[in-house]
Amino acid sequence: MGGFVPRPKTLGGDIPCLDSPELARKRQKALSAYAELRVERPLRAESNLETPVETQADGAPLFRISDLSAGYDKKVVVEGVDLEVREGDVVALIGPNGSGKSTILKTITRHLAPLAGAVELDGREISRWKTAEFARNLAVMLTDRPRTELLTCRDIVEAGRHPYTGRMGTLSPDDHSRVDEAMKTAHVEELAERDFMQISDGQRQRVMLARAIAQDPRVLVLDEPTSYLDIRYQIDLLRILRHLAKSRNVAVIMSIHELELAQKSADKVICVKDGRVFRAGAPEDIFTRETIGELYGLQHGTFNERFGSVEIGRPHGDAHTFVIAGAGTGSAVFRQLIRQGKAFYAGVLHEGDIDCELARDLAAECVAERAFEPIGDKTIARAKELLVHCARLIVCPAAFGTINARNAELVEFAQSHGIEVMRACEGASEDSQ
């Protein structure tokens, strides 16, 4: 046990913590400044004539769902849903297929009548809003894309101005400039004159987003906005949504399947499982191995909260390979072994090292030392215990450094016990047995 360098002192108390009330107050102040800006915008002011909108600085939620039951034809699909959404929040609904995410979204956008409970926008039950007024406050983007005929993308985006135009739907110069702005925000300006049916799915999705933006809503509801998009468009779309939330203070509520994207883009995550809200909270609290594993009933794969990604799980059987890795040198070898269906041990790694994170999900056992500490006796002993049963040892780092120097002992140990020792080649495309 001995031989550990004493842990360094903790940081001084005068450095504020990221979650401290002081910083939160500063952020709140910035938010209320945005809120005031919004009220000054002419069209918003007009819609305010009907419902006075107080600024959200005092923390009153813009959108509140309490004890909602939703479903079709009196058949309850989800129940007990509670959610508060503030201006500028990005809320992600995650959960398995058929868990009721879309049903919740359809209910809060008034496509379905709630079976019980309350949904309030600005403190007023949504069913009591006039349709046009509601449309000026809440826009949607649905999974099904319209099938149109001879309509340009600009025509589609202009449709978003519907709640603001007069009897015949003629657009004013202001409407036109808002359409231009929405198309610019969603990066679809160059598609303006293209036929909506003759562009790619990803482009169509962004045009539909531009349409929703042109509606100038305070709440934007999106049902699986990233489905069918390639990774570039997914990132593009989420960046646009974050931009809307942070610069225009729009509250974004979306259902999403891509966990890594949800983790990276949402301020708040709601997990829906089997018709109930299984868990809700900040992404840091939700995206843990346990919660995600339980939410999706993962039996083989595992979710890694650091990477925000899912591994397909470790193979069954005894391990006959030991991998010395560290500082990212091992990940390619780990994945290769997994693809070949071979169980393996990994060591000696340091906690927090990305190889260590990965090995926890993939290796039969990962021998790890505490972060920043040199490898101790107990750890090296455990590694040797495992190594004895192995037929080969793969060494990934080109050289050992100060804190993992004792891995060299493992190489010597292997050589003296007749265990095959090999280096991981660059690009690692080896393998025999």
Partner 1 sequence: MKSRLSMAYDESGRAARCRVVTTLLAVALIVLVGANLCIGSVLVPADHIPGILSGGAADSMESQVIWEIRLPRVLSAVLLGGALSLSGFLLQTFFNNPIADPFILGVSSGAKFVVALTMIVLLGANRAMSSPAMVAAAFLGSLITIGFVLLIARRISSMAMLIVAGVMVGYICSAATNFLIAFADDQSIVNLHNWSLGSFSSSSWDDVAVIAVVVITVSACVFAISKPLSAFQLGEAYAKSVGVNVARFRVVLVLLASMLSACVTAFAGPVSFVGIAVPHLVKSALKSSKPIRVIPACFLGGAIFCAGCDLIARTLFSPVELSISAVTAIFGAPVVIALMLKKRVR
- Residues contributing to the site for partner 1 (CB under 8 A): 109-111, 131-136, 138-140, 142, 144, 146-152, 154-156, 159-160, 162-163, 165, 167-170, 180, 189-190, 192-193, 215
Min separation Cβ 193 and partner 1, Å: 5
Q: Give me the least distance between CB of 362 and partner 1, in Å please.
A: 44
Judged by CB, which is closer to partner 1: 215, or 404? Answer: 215
CB of 312 to partner 1, least distance (A): 36
Q: Which is nearer to partner 1, 155 or 373 (CB)?
A: 155
Minimum distance from residue 276 beta carbon to partner 1 (Å): 26
* Phi, psi torsion values for 226, nearest 5 degrees: -100, -5
- In the complex, the smallest distance separating the C-beta of residue 212 from partner 1, rounded to whole angstroms, is 9
Nearer to partner 1, 165 or 200 (CB): 165
Taking the least distance from each CB to partner 1, the nearer of 195 and 294 is: 195
Tell me phi and psi for residue 430, to 5 degrees.
-65, -155
Q: Rounded to whole angstroms, how far apart are CA atoms 426 and 178?
A: 53
Closest to partner 1 by CB, 35 or 192: 192
* C-beta of 75 vs 147, nearer to partner 1: 147
Minimum distance from residue 63 beta carbon to partner 1 (Å): 16
Going across the sheet that includes 90-94, the strands are 124-125, 116-121, 63-72, 75-85, 276-281, 268-273, 90-94, 251-255, 219-223, 138-141
